[in-house]
């Protein structure tokens, strides 16, 4: 058992694709338990039996379409016209736009690539320090993870629902729960940015309603999106998967048919790239259903539960340990694999300590968000290093103040459940 | 070890009974027969559980009548919409036919320890439903693969949504469905009641459940052990079955206390539904999807019952 | 021989690309169509929900298959960065071979699963044998395995992999 875990860990560290590592674990586990290995395929097939999953390809496609169009530019213009006059205005613009964008693209690195190219030069031109600008753009790449309809939020909901432990939760509850914690991150990072860059500000006279009007007119097609998604879901008019379908169709209509910013010729390529990401995530989900099933079959969650209950005696200590564990996990694993592999194990334990599954989800994702920035393997660090052609060590230096601020946020989110639960 | 999966939520009275039964079987067979239950649908929906029984990961499962009918079409019988009008009628039919159905399961390779009633399903909805007109534009849930209920809904001019049982709560939460049909007990057990506000006071479908174990596995036990398992599980199912009527009344009261409201059906609605249901069932029986012989038998029993007990069947 | 392989893989790539675009298009149209139908015409089609879920499965497998072309799968390659240069290539080959073996095993047992389903005559969408739709699992994993065998024989350079980041 321990040997097997070590071998799997080594395979993963040596760069075996995670889906293959998870599959190896599942195959090995069923083999040990003397169970027909066809069960792995039976579990994988459950992909076709989860109605909510439909939301994932549809939202991802919409996100990719948006990032390929000139929507990012229009959103930057609009936010710039609205809040650009504040001290550190452009920094605030970056934070806000990135958060909005990541919510739609699911923090898969698309934000840095699509928006970083736009914001980084602009920041530099406006006299923001190089390291600050780099750090901001890199951090922003995963900001907004807690806002609907981000993929990790949906995925957590799916995994938690499959487990069916503790109070029943729904994805729209998660969407609500993420709002305040997400805003807290924006507020803290924004406040610090304003203070740090208080010397950089455009004269107030730069603000004009006329400019705002023009920017609104330009972005008129994208503006209804949050209302379609959030309004539709929160009002109960749309199911999550329906909102995803409407979003995909709407974005397609706007960017391809009306504005024609994505040519018909380019469309297959956008579909292609978004579906490769979807395939990569869902194949991990499918095989992790099998590996989770091995664990459930052998009663592992109960054993872990008993072990933790005997060792850790207060909720506070448990939360502290949970944070440490998740931070390490986030430093090693990407968010999607971490979700599908670890949530089945820690959810029963956390519920045993009286933590609401929705709150756990927010804690989990907030920690994972930091994982995007932690050395040695934060994905955003690599993407930014590659995208802006800077050595990775410079990115470590550039991001650490942001990292500290996000850690404070995580602590607040963890120890003040009200932040997540107040809207439910 | 016999591993049995169910969608019944962990901690429900059903699970407690089964776990207690497992302990009793273990003691009485001196540890030769161990039953292990996986609750809360962690092994997947009914289809998944069947697949896992085929490959031998699981040896048994607790299924709904609808789930069983995927394996043995005869099991559709009790779940035919509006087959009977009252608990009395249904109990009479079951007295006459339970054993026959258990035999049919046995012939198909499943050992069954008796049926447990879940009571009658009523429409439960987010907006009051008194007539078919109120269902227009609503997303009405029909169990996946329950083509008969589906056709009845279509016959009434309603567009239903099919989902597996395990996804209904999510469906209600995400707005994928907004009208479901279940018994008060089911609404409580599956927490569906948290997402509906109204119950239409009209019995639509009789719900049954049964625990089946793969015959190959079961026949490997010694005759004495088989006898003990039959006794214990049979007794548990009998108890559940007996308590259902009372439990459902209590459950309904609990739901009403929770603020759900009972909606009386509009005049003539029952006969309207009945007419459509009978037409659909006749059509399906004619197509041969479902053995008409059993249906005819059941109808004969109902006729007998109504003749002998004109008052009770008047409803 | 080599020509046939090249010809086959080009054909396969085209097929995958087409399928990917087709499946996604059908998915969007059906999902939206269903909403429109339900809200405007009070009607629906009994099998749409089930069909959409099957589409998700197909997109998953084919998307993953496409990702295998240049090995774009999600991974954590911490250790690899610290491994000496000359060990890197053989190491990558071993990992590719192992991945191919795992996918081959998945394909074999997926085939087993599909065969059992066919034997029991289970159906989807009301009347179609479910193995038609489920075959994507064994076929998909077999092809992924094939891709990793090709990668093992001719591993891409480490740099080119980095350029394929999302
Ligand atoms: Na990472
Ligand atoms: Na990381």
How does pLDDT run across A155-166, given as a tens digit for each residue?
A: 999 888 888 787
Task: Spell out which residues of chain A touch residue C78, defining contact as CB-CB under 8 Å.
Answer: 13, 332, 376-377
Q: Is A252 on the interface with C (CB under 8 A)?
A: yes
Under a CB-based contact definition with an 8 Å cutoff, are residues A33 and A1 in contact? Answer: no
Interface test with A, best of C38, C74, C97, C135 (most A CBs within 10 A): C74
- Three-point CA angle B287, B289, B294, nearest 5°: 100
Given this model, what pLDDT does residue C78 score? 65
Q: Which ligand is nearest to the CA of A370?
A: 2
> Chain C neighbours among A 41-60 (CB < 8 Å)?
41-42, 44-45, 47-51, 53-54, 56-58
Please classify residue B193 by burial: count the beta carbons closer than 10 Å to its beta carbon, then call 0-12 exposed, 13-18 middle and 19+ buried. buried
Our CA dihedral for A14, A16, A19, A21, rounded to 10 degrees, sits at -60
**Bridge partners (DSSP) listed for residue B61:** B5, B212
What beta strand segments (E) does A159-302 contain? none
Q: How far is B110 from chain C (nearest CA, A)?
A: 14
Instruction: Give the start-to-end residue ranges of the domains of chain C.
Output: 2-163
Count of helix runs (H) and strand runs (E) in chain A: 24, 0
Of the candidates A346, A339, A251, the residue with the CA atom closest to the CA atom of residue A304: A346
3-state secondary structure of B179: strand
* Subunit partners of chain C (3 or more CB pairs within 8 A): A, B
Taking Cα atoms as reference points, which of A381, A400, A401 lies closest to residue A391?
Answer: A381
Q: Which of B47, B55, B162 sits opposite C46 (nearest CB)?
A: B162
How many angstroms separate the CA atoms of A208 and A169, rounded?
45
Q: At how many degrees (to 10) do helices A379-388 and A130-140 cross?
A: 130
What is the C-alpha to C-alpha distance for residues A145 and B94, in angstroms, rounded to an integer? 55
Query: Which residue, chain included where needed, has tokens 């395939």?
Result: A279
Strand partners, B116: B209
Residues 6+ apart with CB under 8 A from A386: C162, C163, C165
CA distance A148 to A171: 9
Nearest-angstrom CA–CA distance, B39 and A409? 37
3-state SS track over C58-110: HHHHHHHHHHHHCCCCCCCCCHHHHCCHHHHHHHHHHHHHHHHHHHHHHHHHH
With beta carbons under 8 A apart, name residues in chain B contacting C114: none
pLDDT confidence tier of residue C42, bands split at 50, 70 and 90: low
Rounded Cα distance between A417 and A231, Å, is: 24
Q: How many helices (H) and strands (E) does chain C have?
A: 6, 2
User: Of A11-20, A23-32, C22-31, where does mean pLDDT reach its minimum?
Assistant: A11-20
pLDDT value of residue A107:
61
Chain C CB contacts of A279 below 8 Å: 59-67
Contact between B41 and A164 using a beta-carbon 8 Å cutoff: yes
Q: Do B174 and A241 touch (CB under 8 A)?
A: yes
Q: How many residues does chain B have?
A: 315
Nearest CA in chain A to C39: A237
Q: C29, C27, C95: which is closest to C62 by C-alpha?
A: C27
Tell me whether A358 touches chain B (CB under 8 Å). Answer: no
What span, in angstroms and rounded, lies between the C-alpha atoms of B264 and B201?
5
Confidence of residue C159 (pLDDT cuts 50, 70, 90): low
Q: Are B118 and B186 in contact (CB under 8 A)?
A: yes
pLDDT: which is higher, C61 or B166: C61
The per-residue pLDDT for range A316-364, each reduced to its tens digit, is 999 999 999 998 888 778 788 889 889 999 999 999 899 999 999 999 9
What is the β-pairing status of strands B160-163 and B110-125?
unpaired
Nearest CA among A328, A418, A331, A306 for reference residue A381 = A331
Calculate the average pLDDT of chain A.
87
**DSSP-based three-state secondary structure for B107:** helix
Q: Name the pLDDT band for B313 (thresholds 50, 70, 90).
A: very low
Q: Which of B47, B54, B147 sits opposite C126 (nearest CB)?
A: B147
**Sign of the CA dihedral with A240 first, then A241, A246, and A252 last:** positive
| Rounded mean pLDDT, A2-29 | 92
pLDDT value of position C155: 87
Tokens of B264: 């009386």
Segment B289-311, tens digit of pLDDT? 777 888 888 888 988 888 887 55
Tokens of B286: 């004619």
Q: What is the pLDDT of residues C69-78, one digit of tens each?
A: 988 888 876 6
- Pair A97, A76: CB distance under 8 Å: yes
Helical (H) or strand (E) element with A38: helix A38-45
Half-sphere exposure in the Cβ direction for A318 (13 Å, CA): 22
In this complex, the residue of B70, B136, B147 whose CB is nearest that of residue C42 is B136
Beta-carbon separation of B158 and C38 below 8 A: no
Beta bridge partners, B5, equal B38, B61
- Residue for token pair 């969650």: A301
Question: For C38, which residue in chain B has the nearest alpha carbon?
Answer: B137
Chain position carrying tokens 């939202």: A59
Q: Is the pLDDT of residue A103 over 70?
A: yes
Q: What are the backbone angles phi and psi of residue A343, rounded to the nearest 5°?
A: -55, -45
C160 CB near a chain A CB, below 8 Å?
A: no
What phi and psi values does residue C84 have, to the nearest 5 degrees? Answer: -55, 145
CB atoms within 10 A of CB C72: 20
pLDDT greater at residue B87 or residue A286: A286
* Cα gap A383→B129, rounded to integer Å: 55
pLDDT tens across A195-215, in order?
A: 888 877 666 556 788 888 888
Sign of CA dihedral A192, A198, A201, A204: positive
| Nearest-angstrom CA–CA distance, A2 and A387 | 40
* pTM given for the model: 0.89
Give residue A327 CA to ligand 1 midpoint distance, Å.
11
Q: Directed axis angle between helix A89-105 and helix A55-68, to 10°?
A: 140
Give the integer Cα–Cα distance in Å for A404 and A335. 20
Q: List chains touching B (3+ CB pairs under 8 A).
A: A, C
Residues in C touching A272 (Cβ below 8 Å):
17, 20-21, 66
Compute the nearest-CA separation of C54 from chain A (Å): 5
Helix, coil or strand: residue B10? coil
Give the whole-angstrom CA distance, residue B21 versus residue B27.
10
* Residue carrying structure tokens 């590719």: C96
d(CA A319, CA A325): 10
């Amino acid at each position: 058992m321990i040997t097997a875990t070590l071998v799997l860990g080594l395979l993963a560290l040596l760069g075996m694709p995670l889906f293959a590592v998870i599959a190896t674990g599942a195959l090995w586990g069923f083999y040990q338990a003397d169970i027909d290995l066809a069960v792995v395929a039976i579990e994988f097939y459950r992909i076709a039996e989860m109605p909510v999953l439909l939301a994932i390809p549809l939202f991802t496609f919409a996100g990719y379409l948006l990032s390929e169009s000139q929507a990012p530019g229009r959103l930057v213009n609009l936010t710039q016209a609205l809040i650009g006059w504040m001290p550190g205005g452009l920094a605030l613009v970056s934070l806000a736009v990135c958060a909005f964008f990541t919510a739609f693209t699911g923090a898969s690195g698309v934000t840095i690539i699509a928006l970083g190219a736009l914001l980084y030069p602009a920041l530099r031109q406006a006299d923001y320090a190089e390291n600050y600008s780099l750090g901001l753009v890199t951090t922003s790449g995963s900001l907004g993870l807690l806002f609907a309809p981000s993929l990790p939020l949906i995925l957590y909901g799916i995994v938690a629902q499959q487990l069916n432990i503790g109070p029943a939760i729904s994805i729209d509850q998660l969407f609500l729960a993420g709002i305040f914690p997400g805003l807290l991150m924006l507020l803290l990072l924004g406040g610090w940015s304003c203070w740090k860059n208080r010397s950089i500000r455009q004269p107030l006279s730069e603000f004009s309603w006329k400019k705002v009007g023009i920017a609104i007119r330009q972005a008129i097609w994208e503006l209804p999106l949050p209302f379609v998604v959030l309004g539709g879901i929160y009002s109960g008019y749309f199911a999550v998967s329906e909102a995803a379908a409407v979003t995909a169709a709407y974005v397609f209509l706007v960017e391809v048919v009306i504005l024609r910013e994505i040519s018909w010729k380019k469309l297959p390529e956008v579909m292609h790239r978004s579906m490769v990401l979807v395939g990569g995530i869902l194949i991990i989900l499918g095989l992790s259903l099998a590996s989770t099933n091995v664990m459930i079959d052998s009663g592992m969650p109960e054993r872990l539960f008993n072990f933790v209950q005997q060792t850790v005696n207060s909720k506070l200590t448990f939360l502290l340990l949970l944070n440490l564990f998740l931070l390490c996990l986030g430093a090693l694993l990407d968010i999607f694999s971490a979700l599908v592999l670890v949530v089945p194990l820690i959810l029963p334990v956390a519920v045993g300590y009286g933590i609401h599954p929705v709150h756990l989800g927010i804690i989990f994702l907030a920690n994972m968000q930091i994982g995007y920035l932690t050395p040695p393997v934060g994905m955003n660090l690599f993407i930014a290093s590659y995208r802006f052609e800077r050595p990775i060590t410079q990115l470590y230096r550039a991001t650490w103040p942001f990292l500290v601020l996000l850690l404070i946020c995580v602590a607040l989110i963890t120890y003040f459940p009200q932040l997540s639960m107040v809207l439910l | 070890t016999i591993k049995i999966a169910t969608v019944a939520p962990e901690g429900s009275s059903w699970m407690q009974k089964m776990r207690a039964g497992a302990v009793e079987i273990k003691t009485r067979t001196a540890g030769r027969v161990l039953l292990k239950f996986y609750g809360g649908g962690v092994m997947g929906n009914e289809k998944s559980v069947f697949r896992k029984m085929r490959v031998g990961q699981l040896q048994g499962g607790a299924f709904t009548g609808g789930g069983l009918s995927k394996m043995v079409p005869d099991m559709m019988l009790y779940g035919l919409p509006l087959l009977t009008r009252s608990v009395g009628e249904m109990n009479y039919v079951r007295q006459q036919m339970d054993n026959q159905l258990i035999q049919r399961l046995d012939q198909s390779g499943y050992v069954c320890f008796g049926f447990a009633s879940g009571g009658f399903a009523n429409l439960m909805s987010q907006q009051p439903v008194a007539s078919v007109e109120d269902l227009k534009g609503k997303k009405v849930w029909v169990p996946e693969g329950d083509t008969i209920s589906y056709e009845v809904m279509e016959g009434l001019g309603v567009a239903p949504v099919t989902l597996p049982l395990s996804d209904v709560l999510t469906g209600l939460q995400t707005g994928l469905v907004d009208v479901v049909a279940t018994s008060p007990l089911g609404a409580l057990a599956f927490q569906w009641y948290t997402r509906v506000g109204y119950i239409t006071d009209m019995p639509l479908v009789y719900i049954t459940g049964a625990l089946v174990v793969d015959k190959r596995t079961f026949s490997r036990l010694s005759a004495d052990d088989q006898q003990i398992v039959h006794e214990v599980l049979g007794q548990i199912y009998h108890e559940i079955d007996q308590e259902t009527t009372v439990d459902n009344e209590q459950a309904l009261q609990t739901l009403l206390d929770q603020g759900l409201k009972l909606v009386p059906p509009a005049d003539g609605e029952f006969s309207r539904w009945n007419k459509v249901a009978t037409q659909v069932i006749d059509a399906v029986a004619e197509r041969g999807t479902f053995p008409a012989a059993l249906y005819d038998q059941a109808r004969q029993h109902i006729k007998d019952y109504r003749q002998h007990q004109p008052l009770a069947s008047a409803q | 021989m080599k020509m046939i392989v090249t010809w086959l893989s080009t054909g396969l790539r085209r097929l995958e690309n087409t399928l990917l675009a087709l499946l996604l298009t059908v998915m969007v149209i059906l999902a939206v169509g269903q909403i429109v139908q339900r809200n405007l015409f009070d009607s629906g089609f009994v099998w749409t929900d089930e069909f959409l879920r099957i589409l998700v499965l197909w997109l998953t497998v084919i998307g993953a298959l496409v990702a295998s072309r240049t090995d774009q799968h999600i991974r954590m390659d911490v250790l690899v960065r610290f491994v000496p240069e000359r060990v890197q290539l053989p190491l990558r080959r071993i990992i590719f071979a192992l991945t191919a073996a795992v996918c081959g095993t998945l394909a074999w047992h997926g085939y087993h699963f599909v065969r059992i389903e066919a034997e029991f005559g289970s159906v989807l969408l009301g009347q179609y044998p479910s193995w038609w739709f489920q075959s994507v699992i064994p076929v998909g994993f077999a092809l992924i395995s094939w891709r990793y065998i090709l990668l093992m024989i001719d591993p891409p350079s480490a740099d080119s992999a980095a350029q394929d980041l999302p």
